[in-house]
Structures are given as structure tokens and as C-alpha cells.
Chains A and B, each alone.
Chain A
Amino acid sequence: MSEEVLSAPHIMEFPYTRSTGPVVGAFLTGLRDQKVLGYQASDGRVMCPPPEFDAGTNAPVDAAGLVEVGAEGVVTSWSWNPVPRDGNPFDRPFAWALVKLDGADSSILHALDADRGAISTGMRVKVRWAEERVGFINDIACFEPA
């Protein structure tokens, strides 16, 4: 067919509202108060962010028993995002990092504000807190070199 294909912009938006449940709620409440919480699992490992169920026993996690971990840690893996997207922590190319916070045995994903050439696995980083914190994952603005 020689005719040009018809096309039109199509934008889909959903304003989802979610209940956090006790564990995610406690974690986000902690972020608002500049504390990072983890869960000491049945195998002894401290998981941060905390899961809602223990992967070993399938038992529900008791939010009251969450433990505070450090706001500093090490990069366990990182990647470069050359195409920032709407909703990303930065609107320029930036790094994603998995960070094992001090006292935790699992890693949390967030953006890392550092030059690409200065990033390496194992580097020490710390939480940069958002100035205005509301109980959301973006209360951690990003990680930055410690």
C-alpha cells in the first residue's frame, strides 16, 4: 500500500493508589525518618529492603521486628543507563547500583550519582536523603560516593 500509515499519539495514564501493608509501610516510614530498615531472615541473613514473607519459612514478616541497617554500604553491581526515562531519579544519563548497606546481606537498587569512570564494584557509597521526605522510595534521592 502506497498510502502513509495512519498513526496517532496514544497516552495511557493510571493514578494507582496502593496500600503498603505492614512491612513496606514500616520500611517507607523509616525512610521518611532517615532510617533504613531490614529484616533478619530465618537463615540469619539481613534482607534490605525487607521482604513481606520469609523466603525460608514462608512465614509473614513481623514489621515490629525489623532492624536498622546503615545508610552507607558497598556497590555489589552497577550499570549505566544511557536513556533516562520519565520517573527515573535523574533526567540525564546515570548509573544504577545495587548497594549492600552496612549490616545487610542483600542489596537495594537505586541510582548512583557519580561519573561513569569513577564507579566500580565494591566502592563505598552512602544514601543521599531527599530534602523533603514523604514515605516513598525517592526519600532516598540516590546514592553518592562515601
Chain B
Amino acid sequence: MSEPITGITTPIRMEYRYTPGTATSLFLRAMKEGRFEGRRCPSCQKVYFPPRGGCSMCGVEFAESVPLKNTGTIATYTVVNVNFANRTVDLPYVVAEVKFDGADVTTSLLLKGVGVDEVRQGMRVEAKWIPEDEWDFSLANISHVEALDEPDAPLESYKDAI
């Protein structure tokens, strides 16, 4: 072939040994044991779940661990109609931003058992765990959330998390 070259591919591959940091490690250890554990900001008292480095509003390290419940409220959600690579969930599906009871921020989780026409803000949900013998240091221990048979939570209870 003698066509002029107009493009090339230059793949890159980088290998790291990732360490999650103090706050996230505590969260991951709790997940391994089947517990939800958030971290409280000593300045504004907000509870982060999952926690990362520190309070993103105050710029301070977290102080205490806060056990959280397995239940929460859908603060907002999106309906996914286009799959991305390696995702095998049937379309369409709902990704919900769940504010777990006792937390002040939301966590993105798959919602199952609720039609895309039925999902709404304020809907009460419960986390469903994968089998205990598969628990790891991972948020993936939660396979999804399912709706609870409860009245919707008032907007006031979750509006600050949106």
C-alpha cells in the first residue's frame, strides 16, 4: 500500500498501586464488614458517605465515624437509555442519587424493581447487598436499591443534598 499516513494510534497503559487514603479506607473496611459508615465534618456537621479526603465545603479533615442506616431517599435520578462499555444492565434503567438516612450527601446507585415511569424524587429506598461471602472492600457490595413501601419523604429532607 502506498497511501500517505494521516493518522496513528498511540495507546497508553499505566499501572498504579492505588491507596485510598484514611477516610475512604475506614469506609471500605466497614463495607467489608457489611456496615455503612459515614464521616462527620467537625465544622459544618455534615455527614459524608462515601467520605474522601475531607469536607469539601469547609476544607477540614473528618473527625468522627457515623453509622448509617441501610435506607434512604432518592434525591434525584436519571434514566439511562444508552449503555456504555462493559455495562450489561438491561435498558432503560434508573441511576438514583440516594441520600442514606443520617448522611448529608448522595451516593449513585442502580434502582431496580421500579419502572422508569414510576421513579420520583423523595421515593424511599433500601440498599440490597450482594451475598455475604462475596463482600469486599468495595461500594460494589451494594448491588442496587429497591423501593420501600413507605410514603415519599418531603422535599425539605433532601433538598440540600441535590
**One of B10, B15, B20 near A18 (C-beta < 8 A):** B10
Q: Knowing A17-B7, A18-B10 touch, does A9 contact B16 (C-beta < 8 A)?
A: yes
| B87 interface residue per 8 A CB criterion | no
Q: Are B18 and A7 in contact (CB under 8 A)?
A: yes
Q: Are A10 and B18 in contact (CB under 8 A)?
A: yes
Residues of B within 8 A of A7 (CB): 17-19
| A26 interface residue per 8 A CB criterion | yes
| B6 interface residue per 8 A CB criterion | yes
How many A-B Cβ pairs are below 8 Å? 74
Q: Chain A 57-73 against B: per-residue CB contact (8 Å), 1 yes, 0 no?
A: 00000000000000000
Residues of A within 8 A of B25 (CB): 3, 5-6
> Considering the complex, which residues of chain B in the window 1-36 have a beta carbon less than 8 Å from any beta carbon of chain A?
2, 4-20, 22, 25, 28-29
**One of B8, B20, B22 near A20 (C-beta < 8 A):** B8
Q: Number of B interface residues at 8 Å Cβ cutoff, please give it.
A: 23
Residues of A within 8 A of B129 (CB): none
Q: Are B7 and A29 in contact (CB under 8 A)?
A: no
Q: Are B5 and A14 in contact (CB under 8 A)?
A: no
Rounded to whole Å, the gap between the CB of A85 and the closest CB of chain B is 10
Q: Are A6 and B7 in contact (CB under 8 A)?
A: no
Could you tell me the distance between the alpha carbons of A142 and B99 in the complex, rounded to whole angstroms? 58
Could you tell me the distance between the alpha carbons of A10 and B10 in the complex, rounded to whole angstroms? 20
Q: Are B16 and A28 in contact (CB under 8 A)?
A: no
**One of B4, B14, B16, B137 near A6 (C-beta < 8 A):** B137
Q: Are B19 and A16 in contact (CB under 8 A)?
A: no
Q: Are B7 and A18 in contact (CB under 8 A)?
A: yes
> Considering the complex, which residues of chain B in the window 54-111 have a beta carbon less than 8 Å from any beta carbon of chain A?
none
| A13 interface residue per 8 A CB criterion | yes
> Considering the complex, which residues of chain B in the window 111-132 have a beta carbon less than 8 Å from any beta carbon of chain A?
none
Rounded to whole Å, the gap between the CB of A135 and the closest CB of chain B is 4
Q: Are A11 and B14 in contact (CB under 8 A)?
A: yes
Q: Are A28 and B18 in contact (CB under 8 A)?
A: no
| A110 interface residue per 8 A CB criterion | no
| A25 interface residue per 8 A CB criterion | yes
Q: Are A6 and B11 in contact (CB under 8 A)?
A: no
Chain B residues packing against A (C-beta within 8 Å):
2, 4-20, 22, 25, 28-29, 137
Question: Ordered nearest first, which 9 A-B pairs have the shortest CB separation?
Answer: A135-B5, A10-B18, A10-B16, A28-B5, A29-B5, A12-B14, A7-B19, A13-B13, A29-B4
